[in-house]
A and B are shown apart, each in its own frame.
Chain A
């Protein structure tokens, strides 16, 4: 029988650790932090589809998080919809919004694309802020009670964590499949050589738009979980700072990798929630960490650490080769 590969083994260890987390971390506080990490990771994974695999840097991704959260809370807590209907409508409507935003943003590329996504996100923030009769304005919108799917009590931190983790697992699996699919590979082609892709028969715009919508869909799923977790949403959720924070997660963890955004999300959420309890100026620390990452691992934490481990592994071999007498080397040739 073949021994399981290192890759499979590391995945199994990671899954086991994620599943055992509520037992390993006994405090509810840390279990809640883990839930936040998982939700942020879904959002970061979806943004990474655009940035890492599509080469489209968006500064408006918080729009999907916020709109889905607003819609689910409004529909469920204020418009009399059931949880399932509210969730489905929130995700559906947010995905339709992503279709529209994608149509508008993909009229430009590069910096133009970034500016349009930023503008669209900020328009939504303005709407949430000013349309107080619907959104509660600066006070935000609350009143949502967590659902009880299949009789599960989501008010229990550990159960909510597993609930969010299940969505994270599905998101990770779907995004991984997408990346390896023909459409996902085409997206990576449009990132590297759009002109060549057109000449090969690919509709570059359509590939980017479909990916944009797919990313928007997963952003809305994160928004739904965000609403369930916080039971509250405010204009800040839609703000540029949330989009920038998500962008930071993706860049810090490593763009164009599946694990990178997850690690980036964990880093930012933990710093934001845990470190901020001890260090008042935690944002300075976040800035310093980001600068260090950019200086020493410009490709991000996950690809950077992988590179370091590889170079450490190859070093003994290189040293051994250097120690080999030249005659032995000659005879070996």
Chain B
């Protein structure tokens, strides 16, 4: 049996006495498109943050590419081949789009500790960043600052920064949130163009888009997994209806 890209066992996270994530176990094989569904407050983003290493779990184990990363820091996990985007866009707003992608590229290279060589003169890095921006259709805006771009362009930049790191596991936290219909289509096309060797775990509220994208769906409520299975199984399950419609 091949090693899963992400394996979570008995994960708990308490904030004070409040359990935000309760006994979540999950096994995601390579290349899978996994969708996390659930109403607001279901614990999806907390679960993402636990996987990304933003804070440690209260209990349970997280394995990425077979390695136990439960106590590893966020940056160590990134070096294993994981990248993520944020629900609330987190970019360097005063810098250009190109500079944002360069910062993303530098994060995984030895040069990040170099206190001497001028980053502006690292031509291959800037070329690579430009190519990544072209991939998400933002090359023409490369020299604009983030503050001068639209919300949809910033969403695409977030994805570009994640893709620049050539991850094997990509965590997307509501990549379509707040986008117009046209922008949604653009980002949707972009997500569908990501090669299959990249495993994607995505949180999304837009059911139509999300269901079309996912291989396996996990529905969460009150920090727990309620339903898990294929699209057809999850849609047919009465518990999914209960979670979303309350009856």
Contact = CB atoms under 8 A, between A and B. Distances in A.
Label chain A's interface by main secondary structure: helix
A199 B112 contact: no
Interface in B80-128: 83-84, 86, 90-94, 103-104, 106-108, 111-120, 122
Interface residues of B, number: 34
A243 B233 CA distance: 66
Contacts of A177: 115-116, 118
A57 to B, nearest CB: 20
B78 A183 contact: no
B226 interface: no
A193 B92 contact: yes
A195 B161 CA distance: 14
Interface stretch (A201-209, A245-253, A280-288, A301-309): A201-209
B91 A182 contact: no
Contact of B114 (A183, A196, A200): A183
Contact of A197 (B93, B107, B108, B120): B107
A311 B119 CA distance: 30
B206 interface: no
Contacts of A198: 53-54, 73-75, 78
A202 B75 contact: yes
Nearest to A198: B74
B92 A192 contact: yes
Contacts of A195: 54, 90
Given A189-B92, A196-B90, A203-B75, A214 B115 contact: yes
A97 B90 CA distance: 35
Contacts of A184: 115, 119
Given A182-B113, A193-B92, A199 B120 contact: no
B231 to A, nearest CB: 29
Interface in A98-146: none
B200 interface: no
Contacts of A180: 118-120
A200 B107 contact: yes
A221 to B, nearest CB: 16
20 contacts: A178-B115, A180-B119, A181-B116, A182-B113, A182-B119, A184-B115, A193-B91, A196-B90, A198-B53, A198-B73, A199-B54, A199-B75, A199-B83, A201-B78, A201-B108, A201-B112, A202-B107, A202-B112, A203-B75, A210-B113
Interface of A: 177-178, 180-186, 189, 192-193, 195-204, 206-207, 210, 214
